[in-house]
Structure 1
Amino acid sequence: MDSVQVNKAHWDERAPAHAASSGYNIQGFVDDPELLSEVVRFDRQRLGDVRGLRAVHLQCHIGTDTLSLHRLGADVTGLDFSSASLAEARDLARRTGADITYVEAEVYSAPDVLEAGVFDLVYTGVGALCWLPDIRRWAATVAALLRPGGRLFIREGHPTMWAVDETRKDGLVALEFPYFERPEPLVWDENGTYVDTDVQFTHTVSHSFSHGLGEIVTALLGAGLELTMLEEHDSCPWDFYPGATVKDEHGEHRLAERPERLPLTYTLQARKRTA
Structure 2
Amino acid sequence: MTEDYRTLNKANWDERAPAHAASPDYELSRFRTDPEFLSAVVRFDRPLLGSVRGLRGVHLQCHIGTDTLSLARSGAQMTGLDFSPASLAQARRLAEQTGTPIDFVESDVYAARAALGTERFDLVYTGIGALCWLPSVRRWAETVAGLLRPGGRLFLREGHPTLWAIDETHTDALALGYPYFELPEPMVFAEEGTYVDTDVEFTATTTHEWNHGLGEIVTAVLDAGLTLTGLTEHTSVPWNALPGRMRRDADGEWHLSEHPERLPLSYTLQAVKR
TM range (shorter): over 0.9
Match of 2:124 in 1: 122
Supply the distance in 2 between the matched residues of 1:227 and 1:218 (Cα, whole angstroms): 10
Letter in 2 for 1:187: V
Q: Of 135, 159, 162, which aligns to 2:161?
A: 159
Deviation at 1:43, TM superposition (A): 1.1
Matches within 5 A, 1:120-269: 120-170=122-172, 172-269=173-270
Letter in 2 for 1:139: A
Letter in 2 for 1:261: R
Match of 2:98 in 1: 96
Supply the distance in 1 between the matched residues of 2:169 and 2:33 (Cα, whole angstroms): 37
For structure 2, the 5+ residue unaligned runs are: none
Match of 2:38 in 1: 36
Supply the distance in 2 between the matched residues of 1:22 and 1:219 (Cα, whole angstroms): 36
SS at the partner of 2:250? coil
Letter in 2 for 1:14: R
Deviation at 1:118, TM superposition (A): 1.7
| Cα-Cα RMSD | 0.6
Equivalent residue pairs, number: 272
SS at the partner of 1:23? helix
Deviation at 1:169, TM superposition (A): 2.5
SS at the partner of 2:201? coil
Match of 1:46 in 2: 48
Supply the distance in 1 between the matched residues of 2:6 and 2:235 (Cα, whole angstroms): 31
TM-score (norm 2): 0.98
Q: Of 50, 63, 75, which aligns to 2:65?
A: 63
Match of 2:107 in 1: 105
For structure 1, the 5+ residue unaligned runs are: none
Deviation at 1:168, TM superposition (A): 1.1
Supply the distance in 2 between the matched residues of 1:49 and 1:25 (Cα, whole angstroms): 24
> Is 1:4 equivalent to 2:3 in the alignment?
no
TM-score (norm 1): 0.98
Letter in 2 for 1:50: V
Deviation at 1:115, TM superposition (A): 1.9
Match of 1:19 in 2: 21
The C-alpha deviation readout for 1:59-102, integer Å capped at 9, x for no partner, is 00000000000000000000000000000000000110000000
SS at the partner of 1:260? helix
The C-alpha deviation readout for 1:138-176, integer Å capped at 9, x for no partner, is 000000000001000010000000001111121x11111
Supply the distance in 2 between the matched residues of 1:179 and 1:254 (Cα, whole angstroms): 21
Supply the distance in 1 between the matched residues of 2:199 and 2:57 (Cα, whole angstroms): 35
Q: Percent identity?
A: 67
Supply the distance in 1 between the matched residues of 2:61 and 2:48 (Cα, whole angstroms): 20
Deviation at 1:185, TM superposition (A): 0.4
Supply the distance in 1 between the matched residues of 2:241 and 2:169 (Cα, whole angstroms): 10
Supply the distance in 1 between the matched residues of 2:161 and 2:107 (Cα, whole angstroms): 25
Letter in 2 for 1:232: E
Supply the distance in 2 between the matched residues of 1:50 and 1:101 (Cα, whole angstroms): 17
Supply the distance in 1 between the matched residues of 2:63 and 2:45 (Cα, whole angstroms): 19
Supply the distance in 2 between the matched residues of 1:107 and 1:189 (Cα, whole angstroms): 23
Letter in 1 for 2:46: R
